[in-house]
Amino acid sequence: MCHQTVSLVARHLEASGIPTVIMGCAKDIVEHCGVPRLLFSDFPLGNQAGRPFDVRSQKETLELALRVLESAPAPRTTVQSPQRWADDPSWKRDFNDLTKLSPEIIAERRKEFDEVKSIAKAKRES
Amino acid sequence: MTTISPDIARAAITSDDDVAIPYMQRTRDCYLALGYGNPYRWAHFADVPFTPLKTPLDQARVTLITTAAPFQPEAGDQGPRAPYNARAKFYQVYSIPSDSVPDLRISHVGYDRRHTSAEDINTYLPLARLKEAAVAGRIGALGPRIHGAPTNRSHRTTVDLDAPALLRRCQEDGSDAVILAPS
């Protein structure tokens, strides 16, 4: 939900006259919402600002985001960082991989999900 | 910056699933597999607002918005590799001085726990790199505060409450541009 949240916020800021750029790893969610500018890093969620303990990767990621901010010609500008997480792209198959969902994992995930929803509901109502 | 070598055009074709991960589809499939009949409706708009950057970046005040959460000692494991931790979530916009070294964590969101560990804050919060960019003169200045955006399944909560609160704070800070870093 993080990517959707900031996409909605970026739209709001932009409509009020403040230019924005999103640094994100979930391209589909951001583009589906529709935002002014996205720097997409094709990395596991959580690495939107660059690789762990790799200052050069982080610097290059930020620099590219700044260039997108400066030079996007129109809304829905997405630039994909040329950095790759790994030569082997098989890591991309693992996120929410249904073939690995055992009945125990399903029960656990349901519990987790219901708990999150009830906490959020209680907070909203309080 | 990475330069492109001339022989890149002759590189081997990569596999068909070497594309941006289809998170919406995977999430939908996962909800169905968990037994929820009603798939989540993602935000989707035909029109997109756009404001060109008016101030040159080397004179611009740039503000950072994050979805990371301030560490809460009483809220359980929020460290690297911590399992998903709903107790560590926050529900209201927060702001902290950008000249601090904040302790912000991401155990409350669905980052990729299998392929990354959240050990290095700089992978999800470009604060240190932004400070360097300000010192180097690449940006005019970093905004005086970092703002935290609560992640919420409800579009309406975000649009009606959190986005206006964030706008107000960015205006108070005199922000010329905003970088948003979702985990």
User: Measured between CB atoms, which of B155, B162, B178 is closest to A20?
Assistant: B178
Q: Dump pLDDT digits (tens) for B84-98.
A: 888 899 999 999 999
A108 lies within 8 A of chain B by CB = no
**Mean pLDDT in chain B?**
92
Residue A98's pLDDT is 76
Per-residue pLDDT of chain B (183 residues; tens, 9 = 90+): 556 666 777 777 888 889 999 999 998 888 888 888 777 889 999 999 999 999 999 999 999 999 999 999 999 999 998 988 888 999 999 999 999 999 999 999 989 988 998 999 999 999 999 999 999 999 999 999 999 999 978 899 999 999 999 999 999 999 999 999 999
Q: Under 8 Å CB-to-CB from B11, ≥6 apart: which residues?
A: none
**Complex-level ipTM:** 0.93
Beta-carbon contacts of B165 under 8 Å, excluding residues fewer than 6 positions away, are B92, B93
Q: How far apart are CA B150 and CA B167, in angstroms?
A: 14
CB contact under 8 A, A52 and B158: no
pLDDT at B93: 97
B positions 87-106 inside 8 Å of A (CB): 87, 89, 91, 106
pTM of this prediction exceeds 0.90? yes
Q: What is the mean pLDDT of residues A39-53?
A: 97
B170 touches chain A (CB under 8 A): yes
Which residues lie below 8 Å from residue A21, measured CB to CB, with a gap of 6+? A36, A37, A38, A39, A65, A66, A68, A69, A72, B177, B178, B179, B180
Could you tell me which chain A residue has the CA closest to the CA of B157? A124
Distance CA A56, CA B84 (A): 29
